[in-house]
C-alpha cells in the first residue's frame, strides 16, 4: 500500500486518512474515510473496534490534550502530504463522553479567564482614575490659576491608556514637570488659540506654533 506501508513513528494507536480509495480487508466496506493498519492490511474503524470514537480535528491544543486525558481509548489521526513527503497530524479520535468533559473543562477555564480579565480591567480603571487625579493635582500645583475642571480634562486626555500621549510616557507616569507642562501647553494650544484653524488653512505646523506662541504664553502666565 502506497504510503501506508511505512507509517510514521508512533506512540499509541494510529489511524490514517487514506490518500487513495481503500476498502476494509475484513468487512469489505469502503471507501474508508479513516482506517487502521493491521498486519499491513486496512481495517475500518468498526472492525478495528474504534468505531465508537469521535473525531476531534487539530487546532485547539488545550481541548485535544484534555480530551485524550479524559478518554480511556484514543488514537492519533494522520494523513500523508504528497507535496511535503510526510505524514501530518489531522486530529485525534476520542470517546464522546471524554470530549464532552474536556469541552466543559475548557469552558470553565474560558469563564475563569473572562472573570480574570474583568478583574484586571476594573483594577486598571481604578489605577487610571488615581493617576488622572494625581496628574490633575500636579497641573494645579504648577498652574494654580487653571480651573479645576480644565485641569481634570487635561489630565484625562493626556493620561488615556493606550493613547500614546504624554501622560502615558515614562516621564508622564513619573509626573515630571516637563511632561505635565507639555500636556497643559498642548491643551492651551488647541483650545485657547486659533492653532487648529491655522493648520486647517494649510499653515505649516512650526509656523502655526510660532504665530500662537504669545497667546499660549499669556494663558500659562495667567494660570501661574
Q: Distances in Å between the alpha carbon of 174 and those of 11, 127, 150?
A: 56, 14, 21
pLDDT digits (tens, 9 = 90+) for 190-204: 999 999 999 999 999
Q: How many CB atoms lie within 10 A of CB 46?
A: 13
Sheet of 53-57: strand order equals 13-17, 75-81, 86-95, 53-57
Q: What is the pLDDT of residue 113?
A: 81
pLDDT digits (tens, 9 = 90+) for 133-145: 999 999 999 999 9
Task: Please give the angle made by the CA atoms of 135, 139 and 142, to the nearest 5 degrees.
Answer: 135
The residues near 16 (Cβ < 8 Å, ≥ 6 apart) are 4, 7, 34, 35, 36, 37, 42, 77, 78, 79, 80
pLDDT digits (tens, 9 = 90+) for 1-24: 444 444 554 457 899 989 888 989
Amino acid at each position: 500500500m502506497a504510503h501506508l506501508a511505512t507509517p510514521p513513528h508512533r506512540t499509541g494507536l494510529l489511524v490514517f486518512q487514506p490518500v487513495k480509495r481503500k476498502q476494509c480487508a475484513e468487512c469489505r466496506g469502503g471507501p474508508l474515510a479513516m482506517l487502521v493498519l493491521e498486519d499491513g492490511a486496512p481495517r475500518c474503524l468498526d472492525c478495528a473496534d474504534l468505531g465508537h470514537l469521535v473525531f476531534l480535528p487539530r487546532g485547539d491544543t488545550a481541548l485535544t490534550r484534555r480530551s485524550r486525558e479524559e478518554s480511556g481509548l484514543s488514537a492519533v489521526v494522520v494523513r500523508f502530504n504528497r507535496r511535503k513527503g510526510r505524514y501530518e497530524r489531522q486530529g485525534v479520535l476520542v470517546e464522546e463522553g471524554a470530549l464532552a468533559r474536556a469541552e466543559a473543562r475548557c469552558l470553565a477555564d474560558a469563564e475563569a479567564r473572562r472573570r480574570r480579565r474583568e478583574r484586571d480591567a476594573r483594577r486598571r480603571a481604578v489605577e487610571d482614575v488615581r493617576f488622572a487625579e494625581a496628574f490633575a493635582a500636579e497641573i494645579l500645583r504648577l498652574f494654580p490659576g487653571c480651573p479645576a475642571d480644565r485641569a481634570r480634562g487635561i489630565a484625562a486626555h493626556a493620561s488615556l491608556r493606550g493613547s500614546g500621549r504624554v501622560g502615558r510616557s515614562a516621564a508622564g507616569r513619573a509626573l515630571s514637570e516637563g511632561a505635565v507642562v507639555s500636556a497643559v501647553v498642548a491643551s492651551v494650544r488647541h483650545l485657547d488659540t486659533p492653532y487648529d484653524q491655522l493648520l486647517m488653512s494649510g499653515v505649516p505646523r512650526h509656523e502655526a506654533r510660532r504665530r500662537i506662541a504669545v497667546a499660549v504664553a499669556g494663558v500659562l502666565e495667567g494660570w501661574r
